Amino acid sequence: MLLLGIAPAAACLFIGIGLFTHTLGHAPLFDFHGGDWFAAKRILAGRTPYELDYLRHRADLIAAGGHPNPNIAVPAYPAPALLLMVPFGLLSYTAAAMVFLVLATAAAAGSLWVLDVRDWRCYGALFLSYPVLHGLALGALTSTLMLLTALAWRYRDRAAVVGSCVAAAIVLKLFLWPLLAWLLITRRTRAAVIAVGGSAVACLAGWAVLGFTGLASYPEMLSLLSRTQERATYSVASLLAALGAASATAQAVGVALGVALIAAAWQSTRRGGGEPLVLALCLAASFAASPILWSHYYALLYVPIAIAAPRLRVIWLAPALLWPPADPASATWQIAFYLVAAAAVTIWVMVAARRTPADRALPA
């Protein structure tokens, strides 16, 4: 119990020390530096934030049998997300990193608060989890995605709010597109329309600000990222590729599994499954269908956990079991272990959904 109580403070101390001593396995806030702050600097200088030629070079090296370091950080977010980072580009890197770290930590804790989690032990469990700490240490946007998903759940009966939150989440990370299926399955058609329209308008406006630089080549860039980082992540496609499957086959199986999970979410409504189960299955579909799935993405598992169990239960420690991961490029079992943990959380929510309170059931 004491360990859970001091975990948030210990987490902040751990990341703070790593920020200035390079003890996190990467440069301090590695993703934030290469993918956000650097992109903001390029935008402020009137240059394109994307580095397509560099990714093409890496892909050529891999095709020729080379093994470049998969741990790279290049701007890959859609234009609207990169424009949000422009204010950080006005600061020195250290100042920007510290501000970002504080905001990201607050977003992680805020996602539980939004879901009415008041048990302090749950916050301790959150900050004991490697996916959460790793996301904060890298400077990833995962805690922001957690907060947006939590807000979407809390205000799910307000079409404008939930639609805007889902649109923002998809714009930040395209792999969360199955959240649209959650809205449609739960008969929130208006919210789904707002989400689709909002994300489209945001992307169009964002690229317009950049002079549409990088828009035509953006699909190629995503494809190159999948090819160059496929075997360094914790996705279904990565597991199958590590087992010898062709890249196209591995990605196709992952997408098929994602579609199957969405179908299962729809089928669960016909069998009286509660809405927490629908959201959990759609999040699981996001994990299954994405060819790139970093370990910190698994912090999103805390959203369905918090919905189904606002007080500490054993399931809260499931993501904490993922600490520390081995290099997935050399440990196929580790990728499988992450996927099993995601499946375990989904199955637990499935069982818990049978005791879902009336106010969390599907809308009439």
At residue 58, the pLDDT reads: 66
Nearest CA among 205, 141, 213, 190 for reference residue 170: 141
Residue 70 has pLDDT above 60, yes or no: no
Under the banding of pLDDT at 50, 70 and 90, the label for residue 361 is: very low
Nearest CA among 91, 97, 98 for reference residue 35: 97
At residue 73, the pLDDT reads: 63
Structure tokens at 344: 């375990």
Nearest CA among 81, 86, 100 for reference residue 172: 81
Structure tokens at 275: 């809405």
The whole-angstrom separation of Cα 318 and Cα 314 is 7
The whole-angstrom separation of Cα 158 and Cα 195 is 12
Residue 216 has pLDDT above 80, yes or no: no
Question: What tens digit of pLDDT does each residue of 95-135 get?
Answer: 888 889 889 999 999 999 999 999 988 998 898 888 888 88
At residue 2, the pLDDT reads: 47
Question: Amino acid letter at 107?
Answer: A
142 or 7, higher pLDDT: 142
Confirm if 295 and 325 have CB atoms less than 8 A apart: yes
Confirm if 349 and 306 have CB atoms less than 8 A apart: no
Question: What tens digit of pLDDT does each residue of 47-65 get?
Answer: 878 776 666 766 666 555 5
How confident is the prediction for the chain on average, in pLDDT? Answer: 81
Taking residues 25-45, what's their average pLDDT? 77
Please, what's the largest Cα pairwise distance for the chain? Answer: 58
pTM: 0.86
Under the banding of pLDDT at 50, 70 and 90, the label for residue 7 is: low
Share of the chain above pLDDT 70, in %: 78
The whole-angstrom separation of Cα 325 and Cα 277 is 28
Q: Which of 80-89, 205-214, 280-289, 325-334 has the lowest mean pLDDT?
A: 325-334
Which residue reads 């600000």 in tokens? 209
- Per the structure, how many domains does the chain have? 1
The whole-angstrom separation of Cα 232 and Cα 240 is 12
Which residue reads 């789904």 in tokens? 192
The whole-angstrom separation of Cα 140 and Cα 81 is 12
Instruction: Give CA separation, 215 vs 31, 33, 92, in Å.
Output: 22, 22, 29
Under the banding of pLDDT at 50, 70 and 90, the label for residue 269 is: confident
Question: What tens digit of pLDDT does each residue of 158-183 get?
Answer: 999 999 999 999 999 999 999 999 99
Return the HEC string of the chain: CHHHHHHHHHHHHHHHHHHHHCCCCCCCCHHHHHHHHHHHHHHHCCCCCCCHHHHHHHHHHHHCCCCCCCCCCCCCCCHHHHHHCHHHHCCCHHHHHHHHHHHHHHHHHHHHHHCCCCCHHHHHHHCCCHHHHHHHHHCCCHHHHHHHHHHHHHCCCCHHHHHHHHHHHHHHCHHHCHHHHHHHHCCCHHHHHHHHHHHHHHHHHHHHHCCCCCCCCHHHHHHHHHHHHHHHCCCHHHHHHHCCCCHHHHHHHHHHHHHHHHHHHHHHHHCCCCHHHHHHHHHHHHHHHCCCCCHHHHHHHHHHHHHHCCCCCHHHHCHHHHCCCCCCCCCHHHHHHHHHHHHHHHHHHHHHHHHCCHHHCCCC
Q: Which of 87-91, 292-296, 308-312, 360-364 has the lowest mean pLDDT?
A: 360-364
Share of the chain above pLDDT 90, in %: 33
Question: What tens digit of pLDDT does each residue of 314-354 get?
Answer: 888 887 777 655 554 546 878 888 888 888 888 887 777 55
Confirm if 130 and 322 have CB atoms less than 8 A apart: yes
Question: Amino acid letter at 328?
Answer: P
Taking residues 294-305, what's their average pLDDT? 90
Q: Which of 18-22, 28-32, 202-206, 255-259 has the lowest mean pLDDT?
A: 18-22
Domain coverage including residue 62:
2-360
